[in-house]
Amino acid sequence: MTPALFRVAARERDTVDTWTLTLEAVDGPGPVIGPGQFMMVYVFGIGEVPISVSGPPGEPGPVVLTVRSVGAVSGAICASEPGAVLGLRGPFGTSWPVAAAAGGDMVVVAGGIGLAPLRPIVLHALANRDAYERVTVVYGARTPEDRLYVDEIERWREKIAVDVTVDAAGTEWGGPVGFVAKLVSRADIRPELATAFVCGPEIMMSTSIDALVARGVAPERVHVSMERHMDCGVGLCGHCQLGPTLICRDGPVYAYPTISRWMEVREL
C-alpha cells in the first residue's frame, strides 16, 4: 500500500487537456505490467487517482501513463515536469486477454480517452503481428483536435487497419464524422474470427458492443474495461463495487457476459 517513487522522465502533450508521461522507478527496473492494468498515482500533498497504463506491456521498465486533466489530482499529474517525483502503487487489476485473439482477428474499439488503456494491446499486436490475422482499431474522438496519438496512429496504419471518427468537425477534417458505433457497424471485420476489446464511456461501450454482436461477434469474445470510483485499488474499501464484483480487484477488464447485467442496473 506504500507508493513507490517514480520520476517523470518525459512528458508529451497529446491534446489541449491530455498528456502522456513516462515515469522511471527511482529504485529498480520498474514493474511488469499487463495490458489493461492500472496504477494508483499519488501526487504528494494533493491526492491519488487510478490511471490505466498506456505503455507497452510485459517487460519491466518505465511506466507510461496517458492522463486527462479533469480534476485537482489529474491536473497535477499532467503538470508534472520532467524530474518531478510521483508515488505509484500497482499494477492492479486484470489484463486484456490478448491470447484469446491469437490466431484470429483482433478488433479494438475505443472512445475518447478509452484509447489509452487499449494502447498496450495495440502495441502488443504490432510487436507480435504474426500472432494475429486482421487487427482493426475503431476509434471515436470528440473532435479532430481531441484525438490521441495522432502521429503514432499513422505508423500503426502501416501494419493494421485504423478507422477514426469524430463527433464534430470543421470542414478541414477529411475523415468520418459520426458516432463510433456507426463505424463499428461498417468496419471491415470478420465477426466469426473476431475477439473484441472495448473501452470508453459505458454508453459508448454498450452501443458499440450491440453493433459488434449484431454483426455476429460472439458476446463471450467481447471484453470491456470498466470504470468506477476507486480509492484503495486492492479490493478493501469497496468504493468500486459493481454488483458482486470489485472493479479494482476483479476488473477493470471483464468478459462482457460476466459484467453486462450489472452495467444495466442504474442504481449501480
- Give the residues lining the site for other proteins (CB under 8 A): 18, 38, 49-52, 54, 65-68, 70-71, 74, 111-113, 116-117, 140-142, 146, 165, 167-171, 173-179, 181-182, 186, 200-201, 203-204, 207, 227
Q: Closest approach of Cβ 64 to other proteins, in Å? A: 11
C-beta of 38 vs 256, nearer to other proteins: 38
Any residues with CB less than 8 A from the CB of 26 and at least 6 apart, and which?
Answer: 4, 5, 6, 7, 85
Q: Nearer to other proteins by C-beta: 5 or 169?
A: 169
At its nearest, how many Å lie between other proteins and the CB of residue 185?
9
User: Least CB distance from residue 23 to other proteins, whole Å?
Assistant: 14
Q: Which lies closer to other proteins via its Cβ, residue 29 or residue 71?
A: 71
In whole angstroms, the minimum distance from the beta carbon of 229 to other proteins comes to 9
Q: Decide whether 61 or 144 has the Cβ nearer to other proteins.
A: 144
**Minimum CB distance to other proteins smaller for 118 or for 221:** 118
Nearer to other proteins, 49 or 106 (CB): 49
Taking the CA atoms of residue 34, residue 268, residue 47 and residue 21 in that order, the dihedral angle to the nearest 10 degrees is: 40
Q: Is 6 within 8 Å of 24 (Cβ atoms)?
A: yes
For residues 239, 240, 244, 248, the Cα torsion angle rounded to the nearest 10 degrees is -120
Provide, rounded to whole angstroms, the least separation between the CB of residue 69 and other proteins. 9
Contacts of 199 (CB under 8 A, 6+ apart): 109, 110, 111, 114, 115, 117, 118, 205, 224, 225
- The answer to whether 69 and 59 are in contact (CB under 8 A) is no
Sign, CA dihedral 54-56-58-61, equals negative
3-state secondary structure of 219: helix
- Judge contact between 121 and 198, C-beta under 8 A: no
Q: Provide, rounded to whole angstroms, the least separation between the CB of residue 82 and other proteins.
A: 19
